[in-house]
A and B are shown apart, each in its own frame.
Chain A
Amino acid sequence: MTGDALLWRPRQVHDLMFRIDGFGWYPPELRDGIGFRWSGPGRLASLRIPFRCGGAGRGEIHLVEPVPGGVEVFLNGHPMTIEPRSEGAMEVLGFAWPAAAMAGQDVAELWIAVPETRAEGMPSPDAPGGRRLGVAVSCVVLEPGAAEGRVPEGATDAEDALPLLIGRRWMARHLAVEASGFAFTPAEDGEALEVTATALRLAALSLPRLAWRLRLGGDGEAGLVADWRAADNPGLALPVAGVVVAAPGDDGLALDGLDGLASAFDRVALAALLRDLIGPFRRWLGAPRGVGAVGDVPGGDVPRLAAWQVALHRARAAATRSLAALAAESDLPAVMSRVPAGSIFGAAGAAARAVG
């Protein structure tokens, strides 16, 4: 038998002893020579791992001890079916991800949720009442399904193409949505998400407040409807009933509803607003709630929040595609340099700054 009967599958090992990107984790610890971090104090923790994989794959979460009641795991918002196995005193949570979970992503964002946290019972200076502990993770392993070699990197999708088309520096100056704060409020039993941006700036547009409502659905599968008319925007007359993130056949994701807008400025602005929502959503999710309880689940429903995450990722992909198309067919610097007469943002927006 020769060596090619088996395949060398590369695996990325993410050791939680080192610096991590995410929320809901305590500092690293060592026990019996094994490094790990406890999640907590909330029951949701996130890990963002730089990772590019064009297809399906499998992963493992190595725990230093089992978790009573089980663990929910989401990868980029997609729920994972967990296959736990004991390895001595440790437990390994295995999962396999579908290609959709990593499509267009350069980060594997894992959410790990426990049914409830438990009190450690040992007071510390940071937690006089004792820490609230979730799950003790030693490492996370990600294995792309590719059989041989590292997954090649390349600028192949719209996410990469847009900055190539219009320039990163220009994008950062003219298409980045800035706000002093974003608020997300689950509404209608979690079926909708109210979004409010305060002190919003986008190119020539400057608004003290802009609100809109997001609803899941639209194309039957993790679609998203963004509705500016349903929200309370005093002083503004936004006639946009809905911009829908849809998957029109083989063309991939797209925004449906922008074409009804007469102004190119408005089309670009709404697309940019949808494109930049995932970052504020992530920050809102990881923000402390109550008395410093990072990882508390707003609305109490992790699968619903994961569905929002998937929808916002899709919105970003669709908006990026739309912006790339708009950039290809119009002079974006000129378009975004002023709020035109007749804009849906009206006079309030037009009172804005001039951007050269």
Chain B
Amino acid sequence: MRPLVPPAVCLATSVPPALKREVAPAGDLGALWQRRCVASWGGTGWRAISVNPEAEAAALAAAHPGLEIRAVGRSAEAEYGRPFVWIDDLFAALEREAEGELVGLVNSDIELAMSPAERAAVAARARDGALVIYNRTELRHPGQRIGPLYRYGYDLFVMPRAVMRRLDMRGFALGVPWWDYWMALDALLRGVPVVLVQNPSARHLAHAQAWSTRNWERAIGLVVRRIGAARARLEAERARLLREDGADMLTATVMDTLVGAIRFDARAGYMGAQINHGVGTLLGLAIVRLVERHAHRLVAAGQDAPAEGLAA
């Protein structure tokens, strides 16, 4: 029997004390955009909490009076140079805060333009045991409603609490490259159904790359080590994927060798940075392709318009 009330979803994120978004000719619209993002997350049974280092909590509360803030006593600053919040701390907060069975993560600079029907559809799919993830839509100005879909990253994750408990996100922090790829890949490697939604409902105001090369290399090191650890237990599955892909064993072996050649310190030797960036990009593309096998679009029954177009 279908429940009368759609399942609640508790999202976690980490809103920075200040956001800069230079938009010509208006100038810095970061504060405006952040308010829009914060206002967009809740609704139809969904709520959001922001997990921040203690030092940020007061300023953040002043800037966003309605935002639920949960302070944590540590950050990833020593490892990544900025006070990012560990994904594990976001998960711990969700364990404590979520009233229902569904939890999720959203990047803090994402505005959710989701109708109640779309939220309900996502929650229903997650309740069936899937990890539902979204590509973002890139905007150049807050006034835009449409833009290109950015297929090379994931910005919203909704899942059952039981799936969250299975994911191994040690070492990854919100704001650090690769965490989104690894979360999707880790779910797939653990046999969790992943559903990629390509509706224009997760809006992002475009900006220059904010992450550092050092953090990129550190995080890809985590991904490569985890893939290596997963390989032994997944050899049969890997062989099946290779067959389905049409990839021959030589190609796969070459790819393995290349990925193994990633040097986690790019300065460690000749061509280190070049190898890292080339092979890392290939690895990222391979993950994107794997996840896109599960791509969907949510449409209204009997219509061909994207769900977002029917929303407001």
Contact = CB atoms under 8 A, between A and B. Distances in A.
Interface of A: 1-13, 15, 17-19, 30, 33-35, 58, 62, 85, 87-90, 96, 139, 141, 143, 147
Contacts of B120: 1-3, 5-6
Contact of A15 (B117, B285, B299): B285
Interface stretch (B23-31, B141-149, B254-262): B141-149
A4 B2 CA distance: 10
Given A3-B122, A15-B292, 20 more contacts: A1-B116, A2-B2, A3-B117, A3-B124, A4-B121, A5-B120, A5-B300, A5-B301, A9-B297, A10-B295, A11-B198, A11-B297, A13-B198, A17-B285, A33-B152, A34-B152, A87-B147, A88-B140, A89-B148, A141-B198
B289 A7 contact: no
B295 A12 contact: yes
A88 B138 contact: yes
Given A15-B285, A15-B292, A88-B148, A1 B300 contact: no
Contact of A143 (B146, B289, B297): B297
How many residues of B sit at the interface, in one of the four size bands? Answer: 35 or more
Interface string B274-312: 000000010001001100100111111100100100000
Nearest to A87: B148
A2 B6 contact: yes
23 contacts: A1-B44, A2-B3, A2-B6, A3-B6, A3-B121, A4-B124, A6-B118, A6-B298, A6-B299, A7-B300, A8-B121, A9-B297, A11-B296, A13-B198, A15-B151, A18-B285, A62-B148, A87-B146, A88-B139, A88-B140, A90-B148, A96-B304, A147-B301
B298 A9 contact: yes
Contact of B285 (A3, A11, A35): A35
Contacts of B123: 3
Contact of A87 (B3, B149, B281, B300): B149
A165 B6 CA distance: 52
Interface string B1-27: 011001000000000000000000000
A143 B300 CA distance: 14
B148 A6 contact: no
A88 B139 CA distance: 7
B151 A7 contact: no
A89 B281 CA distance: 22
Max chain B C-beta neighbours (<10 A), residue from A4, A6, A33, A139: A6
A19 B246 CA distance: 10
Nearest to A34: B152
A5 B299 contact: no
B141 to A, nearest CB: 10
Contacts of B198: 11, 13, 141
B85 to A, nearest CB: 25
Nearest to A8: B296
Contacts of B138: 88
Contact of A18 (B118, B149, B289): B289
Contacts of A89: 148
Nearest to B209: A33
A347 B243 CA distance: 48
A90 B246 CA distance: 30
A11 B296 CA distance: 5
Interface string B118-138: 101111110000000000001
B195 interface: yes
Top 6 nearest A-B pairs (CB, nearest first) are A3-B124, A87-B148, A3-B121, A5-B117, A90-B148, A13-B292
B195 A8 contact: yes
A8 B140 CA distance: 29
Contacts of A13: 151, 198, 292, 295
Given A1-B117, A15-B289, A87-B146, A7 B124 contact: no
Nearest to A3: B124
Nearest to B281: A30
Max chain B C-beta neighbours (<10 A), residue from A3, A18, A147: A3
Nearest to A33: B152
B152 A6 contact: no
Contacts of B121: 3-6, 8
A167 to B, nearest CB: 24
A58 B299 CA distance: 12
B290 to A, nearest CB: 11
Contact of B298 (A8, A12, A17, A58): A8
A338 B297 CA distance: 56
A87 B150 CA distance: 11
Max chain B C-beta neighbours (<10 A), residue from A2, A34, A87: A2
Contact of A6 (B140, B285, B295, B307): B307
Given A13-B292, A15-B285, A15-B289, A7 B301 contact: yes
Nearest to A90: B148
Max chain A C-beta neighbours (<10 A), residue from B123, B198, B246: B198
Nearest to B118: A6
B147 A2 contact: no
Contacts of B299: 6-7, 9
A320 B6 CA distance: 52
Contacts of A4: 2, 121, 124
Nearest to B297: A9
B137 to A, nearest CB: 8
Contacts of A15: 151, 285, 288-289, 292
Contacts of B124: 2-4
A6 B310 CA distance: 11
A87 B295 CA distance: 19
Contacts of B206: 88
Nearest to B122: A3
Nearest to A85: B146
A143 B146 CA distance: 20
B147 A88 contact: yes
B301 A6 contact: yes
Nearest to B200: A87
A59 B297 CA distance: 12
Given A13-B292, A87-B149, A6 B117 contact: yes
